[in-house]
């Protein structure tokens, strides 16, 4: 079952990269309706793993470990200026870049348990979009 879900994640990202976002989102929607919330955490982690690989490809090898975080250009608090689903995506990918599963799980649970029933779905769609765009950018980049 996990291999099938991994294949679906790759298909969703591939569709996004190839400008078939409707198909990409449809795959994610099917997963969301056929999988348990805990399995969907695995789906979110799979999508973030794809984004992580793309980001690391674009950044090239680094001699020292890095900590990834979220900042705004004007120094304001991210919570005050970034929509919740975009902030979730940025923080979830940063957690994966930092190998911080506990934070990723806390972010996922917060989005899933929120009073707004549309937030969780928006967070997953935005995560998928970010991964697709990161892969698109990584493939467009010359090799480092």
Q: What is the pLDDT of residue 1?
A: 63
Q: What is the pLDDT of residue 72?
A: 87
Could you tell me the two tokens for 31? 């997963």
Say how far apart CA 38 and CA 105 lie, in whole Å: 10
Q: What is the pLDDT along the chain (144 residues), one digit of tens a residue?
A: 688 999 999 999 999 999 999 999 999 999 999 999 999 999 999 999 999 999 989 887 776 777 888 888 898 999 989 999 999 999 999 999 999 999 999 999 999 998 897 999 999 999 999 999 999 999 986 655
Say how far apart CA 67 and CA 35 lie, in whole Å: 32
DSSP state of 99: T
Does the pTM exceed 0.85? yes
Task: Look up the domain containing 83 and give its range.
Answer: 2-140
Total domains in the chain come to 1
Tell me if 104 sits within 8 A of 92, measured CB to CB: yes
Say how far apart CA 74 and CA 116 lie, in whole Å: 28
Q: Half-sphere exposure of residue 30, counting CA atoms within 13 Å on the CB side?
A: 12
Burial class of residue 131 in the structure, from the number of CB atoms within 10 Å of its CB (0-12 exposed, 13-18 middle, 19+ buried): buried
Could you tell me the two tokens for 82? 């970034």
Q: What is the pLDDT of residue 30?
A: 96
Collect all residues with Cβ–Cβ distance below 8 Å to 43 and sequence separation of at least 6. 5, 9, 28, 31, 35, 124
């Amino acid at each position: 079952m996990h291999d099938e879900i991994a294949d679906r994640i790759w298909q969703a990202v591939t569709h996004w990269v190839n400008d078939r976002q409707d198909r990409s989102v449809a795959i994610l929607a099917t997963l969301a309706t056929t999988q348990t919330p805990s399995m969907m955490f695995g789906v979110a982690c799979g999508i973030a793993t794809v984004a992580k690989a793309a980001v690391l490809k674009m950044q090239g090898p680094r001699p020292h470990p890095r900590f990834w975080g979220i900042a705004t250009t004007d120094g304001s608090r991210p919570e005050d200026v970034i929509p919740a689903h975009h902030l979730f995506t940025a923080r979830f990918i940063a957690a994966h870049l930092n190998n911080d599963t506990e934070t990723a799980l806390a972010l996922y649970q917060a989005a899933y348990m929120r009073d707004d029933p549309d937030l969780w779905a928006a967070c997953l769609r935005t995560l998928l979009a970010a991964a697709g765009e990161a892969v698109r950018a990584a493939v467009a980049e010359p090799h480092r």
